[in-house]
C-alpha cells in the first residue's frame, strides 16, 4: 500500500509560518524594493532591477535552439534590448495603455517584445502560435490591438488575409524579416531595433496600471480578456519562492508557452523577478529531448503540466534508464488534475514528488499549492498559499452563496478577493466580471472538496469548458466556427475523456435537412475547423447527429451530449435550466 502522505523536510526559508516574519503583501513589496505609493513596473522589477545589481552578467534566459545549442542572454543585455524595443514602440506612436499582441514561437524576440512593451506601459496580450485566423481576429478586435509582433509566415498565413477587419492594427513587426520591409506594410525587427535608441525606455507605471491581457474561455460567448495590473508581479515573485521553491541561483524550466498565462507568469515574470535563469526550449515536446534537457542543462526547478508528464510516463522507463538528474531539486505542475500515479512515477523516476499547484487565468498566479514546506498528498492540489484565503462555497442559481465549513463536502472553490494578481476586469464586459463575485469572494467555477487538514481536492468544473492538453477551450468558439460551414445546421462541442490529453475536443454536428452525411463531409468539416481555428482549438472528432438536445430556453445541452458519450444515464434533462 502506498502512503497517503509524502513527508517533506521542512525548509525554514520556504515555510511562511516558521520564517522570521509572518507573510504580508506589504513585506513582498518591500522585498522587491517598491516604495509605498511609488512606481511599479513589471519589466523594471524583472529586468532593470537586476541589470543594476551583481546579477547583471548572469543569464536571464538560456535559449535552446532546435539542435539544442544554447544561447544565453544576460540581465544586462536583456535590459538594453528591451530599452531598444520600448523606444522603437514609442517611435511608432505607442502610448501607455495601448495593446500589443505577440504571436510567435518561443524565441528571443518574443521575450524582448513582451518585456519591452511592459516597460513603456503598453498592455501585452500573447496569442498561442497554434491559433488560426479566427481566434486571432477575435482577440485582437476585442482589445483593439495596435501592434502585432509575429513571424513572416504567421503574418502571411493568418493575419494578412484578415488585416482589413482589424482597423486598430497600425503596425506589424516581423521578428524574422532581417531585411526590413520585405513584406509590404510591415516592419523588420532588426531594422526597427537598430534604428531605436537604447536610452532607458521605462515609463513610471503604478501598481494599478494594466499590464497583461490574457484571453480565457467560458461556456458561453467568445473568449474574455482578463486584465492584470503591474502589481501582479508581487504574486509571481512570492509564489515562485514559496510554491516553486525558486532561488536566484536556480536554473528554472517552465515548459508552458507564453501564449498562455502559465508561460507568461512563470515562464517570464516570476523567475526573472526572483533573479533566476530561465531555460527556453524553442522546440516542441519530445520525450527524449526533455530528458536530455533536464539532465545535461542541470535544471534545478521544473514547472510543467500533467499532459507532458503523462507523455513522459508513456515513453516508458527505458528512456530514463542510465540518466541521473543530479541538479533537479523541485518539480511542480499545473493546469489539470495531477493523477496520484504520476506523483508515484516521479518518485521512482526522479526520486522527487511532483508538487501540484492550482490557479487560473483570472487569478494570475498560484493560489493553492503543495508548497515546498508542506507534506504532499498525492491527488490533492494542496493548500492556499500565504496571502490567499480559500473557501468551499455552495453556489446555486437564485440562492445566496454560503461558505461550507464541513470538510469533505463538494462545493465551488472561492477566494477572498484582493490579492495583487487578481484580474481587474474582463475587457469590455463589466457584467460578466461582476458575475464572478459574491461579496468579496471570487467564484472560480471549479468544484472541489477540502479535507480536515485543509488540503483541496479537485472534483471537476461547474461549467462546460474543455481542458485539452492543459489548454482551456470554450465550446462556443468551436461551435461558431463549425456553424459557418454551409452544410452545418447546428453544432454542440464537448471534451471527450482522453488518456493522454485529459480531454479532446469532440463536436456533434446536425446537418442542414438537404445535406447527406458522409466521411468526405466529415473530413471537410475537420479541415474547415482547423483552417479557421488552428490546431489548438479545432475538434479532433466529429459525429453526425439528427438533432441536438436543448434546454427549454433553447441552449444546447452539452452535459447531455457528454453523458451520452460516456455511456452514463442521461438523468432527467427536462429539469435542467
- Interacting residue ranges for ligand WT7, rule: CB under 6 A: 216, 261-262, 334-337, 356-361, 381, 444-446, 458, 461, 467, 472
CB of 240 to ligand WT7, least distance (A): 14
Q: Which three cell numbers stand for residue 327?
A: 541538479
Minimum CB distance to ligand WT7, residue 173 (Å): 27
- Toward ligand WT7, which CB reaches closer, 412 or 479? 412
Check if the beta carbon of residue 233 is closer than 8 Å to that of residue 273: yes
Residue number, 419 or 458, with CB nearest to ligand WT7: 458
Please check whether residue 304 is in contact with residue 277, taking contact to mean a CB–CB distance below 8 angstroms: no
User: Please, which residue, 150 or 357, has the CB nearer to ligand WT7?
Assistant: 357
Least distance in angstroms from the C-beta of 243 to ligand WT7: 11
Taking the complex as a whole, the smallest distance from the CB of residue 415 to ligand WT7 amounts, in Å, to 12
CB atoms closer than 10 angstroms to residue 318? 7
Length of the chain: 577
**Which are the contacts of 177, defined by CB distance < 8 A and separation ≥ 6?**
152, 183, 186, 187, 188, 189, 190
Residue among 300 and 361 whose Cβ is closer to ligand WT7: 361
CA–CA distance, 177 with 36 (Å, rounded to integer): 43
Residues in contact with 121: Cβ distance below 8 Å, sequence separation at least 6, in sequence order? 41, 95, 96, 97, 203, 205, 209
Beta bridge partners of 349: none
| DSSP 8-state secondary structure symbol assigned to residue 12 | G
Residue 101 DSSP label:
E
Q: Which residue in 110, 103, 94 sits closest to 152, CA to CA?
A: 103
Rounded Cα–Cα distance for residues 299 and 249 (Å): 11
Query: Which triple of cell numbers denotes residue 352?
Result: 522527487
C-alpha distances in Å from residue 269, one per residue of 111, 129, 355: 10, 20, 20
Nearer to ligand WT7, 63 or 359 (CB): 359
- Separation CA 275–CA 162 (nearest Å): 40
SS3 state at 163 = helix
Amino acid at each position: 500500500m502506498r502512503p497517503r502522505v509524502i513527508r517533506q523536510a521542512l525548509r525554514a526559508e520556504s515555510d511562511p509560518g516558521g520564517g522570521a516574519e509572518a507573510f504580508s503583501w506589504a513585506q513582498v513589496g518591500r522585498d522587491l524594493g517598491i516604495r509605498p505609493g511609488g512606481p511599479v513596473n513589471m519589466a523594471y522589477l524583472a529586468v532593470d532591477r537586476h541589470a543594476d545589481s551583481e546579477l547583471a552578467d548572469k543569464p536571464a534566459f538560456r535559449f535552446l535552439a532546435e539542435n539544442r545549442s544554447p544561447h544565453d542572454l544576460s540581465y544586462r543585455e536583456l535590459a538594453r534590448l528591451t530599452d531598444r524595443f520600448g523606444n522603437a514602440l514609442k517611435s511608432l506612436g505607442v502610448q501607455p495603455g495601448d495593446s500589443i499582441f505577440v504571436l510567435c514561437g518561443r524565441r528571443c524576440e518574443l521575450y524582448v517584445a513582451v518585456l519591452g512593451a511592459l516597460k513603456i506601459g503598453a498592455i501585452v496580450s500573447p496569442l498561442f502560435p497554434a491559433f488560426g485566423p479566427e481566434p486571432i481576429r477575435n482577440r485582437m478586435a476585442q482589445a483593439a490591438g495596435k501592434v502585432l509582433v509575429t513571424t513572416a509566415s504567421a503574418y502571411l498565413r493568418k493575419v494578412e488575409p484578415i488585416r482589413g477587419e482589424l482597423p486598430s492594427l497600425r503596425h506589424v513587426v516581423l521578428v524574422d524579416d532581417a531585411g526590413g520591409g520585405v513584406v509590404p506594410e510591415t516592419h523588420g525587427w532588426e531594422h526597427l531595433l537598430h534604428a531605436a535608441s537604447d536610452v532607458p525606455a521605462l515609463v513610471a507605471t503604478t501598481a494599478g496600471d494594466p499590464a497583461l491581457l490574457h484571453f480565457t474561455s467560458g461556456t458561453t460567448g467568445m473568449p474574455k480578456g482578463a486584465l492584470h495590473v503591474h502589481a501582479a508581479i508581487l504574486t509571481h515573485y512570492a509564489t515562485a519562492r514559496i510554491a516553486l521553491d525558486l532561488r536566484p541561483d536556480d536554473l528554472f524550466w517552465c515548459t508552458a508557452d507564453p501564449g498562455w498565462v502559465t508561460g507568461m507568469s512563470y515562464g517570464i515574470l516570476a523567475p526573472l523577478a526572483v533573479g533566476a535563469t530561465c531555460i527556453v526550449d524553442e522546440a516542441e515536446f519530445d520525450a527524449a529531448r526533455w530528458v536530455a534537457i533536464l539532465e545535461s542543462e542541470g535544471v534545478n526547478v521544473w514547472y510543467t503540466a500533467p499532459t507532458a508528464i503523462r507523455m513522459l510516463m508513456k515513453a516508458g522507463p527505458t528512456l530514463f534508464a542510465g540518466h541521473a538528474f543530479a541538479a533537479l531539486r523541485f518539480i511542480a505542475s499545473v493546469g489539470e488534475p495531477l493523477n496520484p500515479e504520476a506523483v508515484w512515477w516521479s518518485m521512482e523516476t526522479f526520486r522527487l514528488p511532483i508538487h501540484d499547484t492550482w490557479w487560473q487565468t483570472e487569478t494570475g498566479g498560484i493560489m493553492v499549492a503543495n508548497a515546498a514546506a508542506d507534506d504532499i498528498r498525492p491527488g490533492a492540489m494542496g493548500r492556499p498559499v500565504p496571502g490567499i484565503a480559500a473557501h468551499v462555497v455552495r453556489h446555486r442559481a437564485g440562492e445566496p452563496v454560503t461558505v461550507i465549513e464541513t470538510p469533505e463536502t463538494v462545493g465551488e472553490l472561492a477566494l477572498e478577493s484582493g490579492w495583487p494578481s487578481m484580474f481587474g476586469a474582463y475587457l469590455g464586459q463589466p457584467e460578466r466580471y461582476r458575475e464572478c463575485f459574491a461579496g468579496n469572494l471570487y467564484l472560480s467555477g471549479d468544484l472541489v472538496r477540502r479535507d480536515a487538514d485543509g488540503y483541496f481536492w479537485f472534483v471537476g468544473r461547474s461549467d462546460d469548458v474543455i481542458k485539452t492538453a492543459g489548454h482551456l477551450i470554450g465550446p462556443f468558439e468551436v461551435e461558431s466556427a463549425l456553424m459557418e460551414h454551409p452544410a452545418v445546421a447546428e453544432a454542440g462541442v464537448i471534451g471527450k475523456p482522453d488518456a493522454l490529453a485529459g480531454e479532446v475536443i469532440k463536436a456533434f454536428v446536425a446537418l442542414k435537412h438537404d445535406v447527406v452525411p458522409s466521411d468526405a463531409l466529415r473530413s471537410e468539416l475537420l479541415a474547415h475547423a482547423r483552417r479557421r481555428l488552428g490546431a489548438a482549438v479545432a475538434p479532433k472528432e466529429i459525429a453526425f447527429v439528427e438533432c441536438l438536445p436543448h434546454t427549454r430556453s433553447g441552449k444546447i445541452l452539452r452535459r447531455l451530449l457528454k453523458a451520452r458519450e460516456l455511456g452514463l444515464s442521461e438523468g432527467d434533462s427536462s429539469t435542467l435550466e
